[in-house]
Amino acid sequence: SGLNAPTPALIKAYLMNSAAYMSGTGAGGNLPSNSQGMGRMDLGRAFDGTARVIVDQSQVLGATGATYTTSGTIPSSSAPFRVTLAWTDAPGPTTGAPYVNNLDLEVTVNGNLYRGNVFTGANSATGGTADAKNNAESVFLPAGTTGTYTITVRASNIAGDGVPGNADTTDQDFALLAYNAQTGGSPSPTIGVSPSSLSFSATAGGANPAGQSLSITNTGGGTLNWTATSNQAWLSIAAASGTAPSTPTVSVNITGLAAGTYNGAISISAVGATNTPVSVPVTLTVNPAGGGQLIVNGGFEGSATPWILSGTAVYSTGAFPHGGTGYTILGVSNSSSSAEYQTITIPTGATRNLTLWLNISTSEAAGAAIFDRFFIEVRSTSGTLLATLATFSNQNSGTAGVYILRGPYSLSAFAGQTVRIQFRATNDITLPTSFRVDDVSVQ
């Protein structure tokens, strides 16, 4: 019918939302229960014609405290009113608590607040505490419930990358299903921004880097009238307000800033928007002048900042650093893709060389064909590949923790340009390879 396939999170929410409560021997109790979960699957309810409101991973909560809100009316008194939230969490640790990102469902009906997974028997009850562990939460109210509702999805803790592949390493999308529900009145606007984060790089004492465009759109209904503010003196946006769609320019001013990494944010607000405000993180890397080091935190000490990690790339303080305590690992698991990059500006007329210490360990047999690969790349600030400086594989593996100096790789072809220095790894479906990176330098 020309519709997109539902995400796994929506399928889970849809089936849980339509389940039928079971009573009798071995059943009963408060939902969700060990004896019946959310109940018996009821495909009759799942495929009936009752009005539904559906959000399928079209909204992203980018930081702890962010919210998504929608409201409307309950159209029928003869059907129950049900709301289910589900999300695909970021990968958790192999020991201890496995959950990473915590979203909480709050549903207000006619002034009464119901929290996700707080039930008495088959139906939700007011009061209780938010569920901090499960990645699926529901509010079920019986037939006869009428009036207005407000649904809020609250990001109570965003600690991991729930939306792999974008620049934000701490975010979470979700699926939301409201049964016997319709949005009321004029649809509310929703703030959309692209890109979701910005990164600038400059040389201390040099020129300011070029400004970057920020696209502000309305992904909901109605009209989106927005205002924008910054939280740092060195960060500005060309327009303080406007009506979506808009493309204001974000700029940075490095005057008086010493070499280092600076973090700020542009905040986009709109009255009546379902997700106001939206924060756009901005990272500014000021590189040392002259022949100094252009890479910031090449030893990954204290954190991976300002490196941007994606996919299965992880920051580690485990047993295998080259120097200090921190390093990063790419690859790691089967059928994976991972990357990390830092944006630098290479001075005009300068000769700069890239070096890094690389340790490769693999589960592949000695002498096996190439299955897992590691790439050393130079990319534009938008991610376009400019050059592959070197490629390694599982055939270059050795003992875990025994690093080899790789390079120098000349960057003279990119003098006068702002580029990404990127390391990228791919693993096939079995026998993973780990690529450990430490002590990266561009001088």
Phi, psi of 44, deg, nearest 5: -60, -45
**Overall average pLDDT of the 36-57 stretch:** 94
Using the predicted structure, report yes or no on whether residue 10 has a pLDDT greater than 70: yes
Using the predicted structure, report yes or no on whether residue 443 has a pLDDT greater than 90: no
User: What local confidence, expressed as pLDDT, does residue 291 receive?
Assistant: 60
Please compute Rg for the chain using Cα positions.
Answer: 25
User: What local confidence, expressed as pLDDT, does residue 261 receive?
Assistant: 83
Range scoring the smallest mean pLDDT among 126-140, 254-268, 301-315: 254-268
Helix (H, G, I), strand (E, B) or coil at 43: helix
Q: How far apart are CA 443 and CA 429, in angstroms?
A: 38
**Overall average pLDDT of the 36-56 stretch:** 94
**Overall average pLDDT of the 172-189 stretch:** 84
> What element of type H or E holds 12?
helix 8-17
CA 312 to chain centre: 13
> What element of type H or E holds 387?
strand 385-393
pLDDT digits (tens, 9 = 90+) for 100-109: 999 999 999 8
Which residues fall within 8 angstroms of residue 24, CB to CB, at 6 or more apart? none
Using the predicted structure, report yes or no on whether residue 371 has a pLDDT greater than 90: yes
User: What local confidence, expressed as pLDDT, does residue 370 receive?
Assistant: 96
Edge-to-edge strands of the sheet including 67-74? 123-126, 112-120, 102-109, 147-157, 67-74, 182-183
User: What local confidence, expressed as pLDDT, does residue 292 receive?
Assistant: 72
**Overall average pLDDT of the 349-360 stretch:** 89
**Overall average pLDDT of the 61-86 stretch:** 93
The verdict on whether omega for the bond into residue 277 sits within 30 degrees of 0, i.e. cis, is yes
User: What local confidence, expressed as pLDDT, does residue 150 receive?
Assistant: 92
Give me the percent of the chain exceeding a pLDDT of 70: 97
**What's the sign of the alpha-carbon dihedral 350, 299, 425, 393?**
positive
**Overall average pLDDT of the 207-220 stretch:** 88
Helix (H, G, I), strand (E, B) or coil at 15: helix
**Overall average pLDDT of the 223-235 stretch:** 95
Using the predicted structure, report yes or no on whether residue 287 has a pLDDT greater than 80: no
Half-sphere exposure of 301 (CA within 13 A, CB side): 10
Residue among 309, 362, 376 nearest 333 (CA): 362
pLDDT band at 185 (very low <50, low <70, confident <90, very high): low
User: What local confidence, expressed as pLDDT, does residue 147 receive?
Assistant: 82
Tokens of 237: 């946006």
**Overall average pLDDT of the 134-149 stretch:** 93
pLDDT band at 73 (very low <50, low <70, confident <90, very high): confident
pLDDT digits (tens, 9 = 90+) for 387-442: 999 999 999 999 999 999 999 999 999 998 999 999 999 999 999 999 999 999 99
**Overall average pLDDT of the 281-301 stretch:** 84
User: What local confidence, expressed as pLDDT, does residue 290 receive?
Assistant: 62
Using the predicted structure, report yes or no on whether residue 263 has a pLDDT greater than 60: yes
User: What local confidence, expressed as pLDDT, does residue 202 receive?
Assistant: 82
The pTM of the full predicted model, rounded to 2 decimals, is: 0.46
Between 297 and 290, residue with greater pLDDT = 297
